[in-house]
Amino acid sequence: MSEESQATKEWQKGKVNEVLGGTSKKANITGVLRERTQLLPQDEEEKKEILRTIKIHVASENYTVMEDGVVTSTNGTDLNIVNKKSGVGFIIRNNGDIMIQSGGGEGGKYCGGRFLINTKGGQLVKSGPIVQEITSQGKSAVEGEGGENDKDQTGSSKIVWGNDTEEIHGNKHIRGRQITIDAGDVLTLMAKESIILQAGPEGGGEIQLKAGLVKTTADIIESNSSKEDIVTKERTLTQFDPRGSDNFISVGHRNVRCLGDLNVDVGGIISTKIMGGTPWPPLVKGTKRKSSLNVSVIKGNISMMTNIGSMLMSAGAGAACLIPPKPGAFTVTAKTSIKQEAKTGFTAKALGSEFSMGGGDATDPTSGAAIGGEIELSAAMKLTLKALQGASLTSGNGPLVITGTPIYLN
């Protein structure tokens, strides 16, 4: 120690003796303190409010076992067993709660922080409500390195060697970005009331169904959609109930196109009613709209046949004209006129005993028989009337005029 430091020390010592005023430092210091500190009277006690009690049972280098309780708390005193360096431990609370805190090892190591249970005889858990929050970590000791995004890593995994039965007396909601149910053999979805499949928040998503064979058994099938597209090689609709029917009801159009043949077999009758309206926008356009029923054959014949019955055609004469006089008749009735024209030849032949042609609705005033109106037979080249048994020309009340150059009667 230098001389300057020793002199300083002696000066400080002299100042102490000067203040204390004696050589008995302990007694003098006590006197000074008593003069400066006011003592409480002997009949009064200092008020102390105890808010928390801590009782330490074990305090080793690494762990602490202690009782910790807040006086004003209704939970009472807790028992804490905690690691001093990592904070890992568990707490037993007086209200029945048990809290377990696990974390990383010392120095931020990732090899720790797991809660491991290994029971040879299994587990039996009976609990109240359970709330779990599971967070995946890319550097977890369970997964290894993992991915960069925690959402793409495994947060929970369970392997069951045997049957797994879960019974819930309430509702269960499963939510996830992508949910996959992989059944090795059979996947069965059963509900006592209904099964609802919805894609999208408002049902605007997509549902894909891929299978080699789809079987549907139901009493009633209802489908409601704005558009339906079906692409198939073959489609068959079979109904075994004789009371069944196939009904197609539409306020729009119907368009049928096939490159092959169209075959329709009906055991009963066919009734077609065409109103002739003009929908908008129309499906049939152009000159075809002049007729309510258009039948066009590009190549081939048009055949109409009835084995037992008659063929009836009426134009403006009403439905009463469609009553045939007897089976096997062909009746054409027109309200105004009938026009038949042939470029090469026209043949009308009756194999029976009667062939009649009448015009108008005139009747004989004497007998009341229909005598018709006016009939004109005209030929540009030659007109021949021939009867094998006889021919008769009768002109009732009017004249019979035969004009020709020359006229042969033989």
* pTM score: 0.56
Q: Are residue 9 and residue 36 in the same domain, yes or no?
A: yes
pLDDT score recorded for residue 261:
92
Do the domain assignments include residue 116?
no
Dihedral of CA atoms 200, 203, 205, 211 in degrees, nearest 10, equals 110
- Domain limit, last residue, from 93, 108, 123: 108
Give dist(CA 299, CA 317) in Å, integer.
33
SS3 18: helix
Question: Token pair 């037992």 is at which residue?
Answer: 308
Same domain, 98 and 62: yes
Q: Do 56 and 104 belong to one domain?
A: yes
DSSP bridge partners of 55: 67
Cα–Cα distance, 138 to 110 (Å, whole number): 11
Q: What is the CA radius of gyration of the chain?
A: 57
pLDDT given at position 18: 59
At 147 the pLDDT is: 47
What is the torsional sign of CA 268, 269, 275, 281? Answer: positive
Is 308 a member of any domain? no
Cα angle 224, 228, 233 (rounded to 5 degrees) comes to 135
The residue from 67, 92, 108 where one domain ends is 108
Do 101 and 55 share a domain, yes or no? yes
Q: Are residues 77 and 98 in the same domain?
A: yes
d(CA 69, CA 54): 7
Three-class secondary structure of residue 314 per DSSP: strand
Output the CA–CA distances (angstroms, integers) from residue 228 to 193, 218, 397, in the order listed.
27, 21, 74
Residue 15 shares a structural domain with residue 55 = no
- Domain membership of residue 284 (yes or no) is no
53 and 96 together in one domain: yes
Helix (H, G, I), strand (E, B) or coil at 67: strand
For residue 187, the model assigns a pLDDT of 93
pLDDT at 239: 87
- 397 assigned to some structural domain: no
Model pLDDT, residue 320 = 65
Residue 220: inside a domain, yes or no?
no
Give the domain-ending residue among 79, 108, 137. 108
**Residues of the chain falling short of pLDDT 70:** 1-9, 11-46, 104-112, 137-152, 320-321, 352-374, 396, 410
The pLDDT of residue 46:
66
Range of the domain at 56: 49-108
Asked if the structure places residue 103 within a domain, the reply is yes
Beta carbons of 138 and 151 less than 8 angstroms apart: no
| Structure-token pair, residue 146 | 């993992």
Judge contact between 89 and 79, C-beta under 8 A.
no
Burial of residue 238 (number of CB atoms within 10 Å: 0-12, 13-18, 19+): exposed
Whether the bond between 399 and the residue before it is cis, its omega within 30 degrees of 0, is no
Is position 74 within any domain?
yes
- 243 located within any domain: no
211-265, pLDDT tens digit by residue?
999 999 998 888 888 888 988 888 888 888 888 888 888 888 989 988 999 999 9
Domains contained in the chain, number: 2
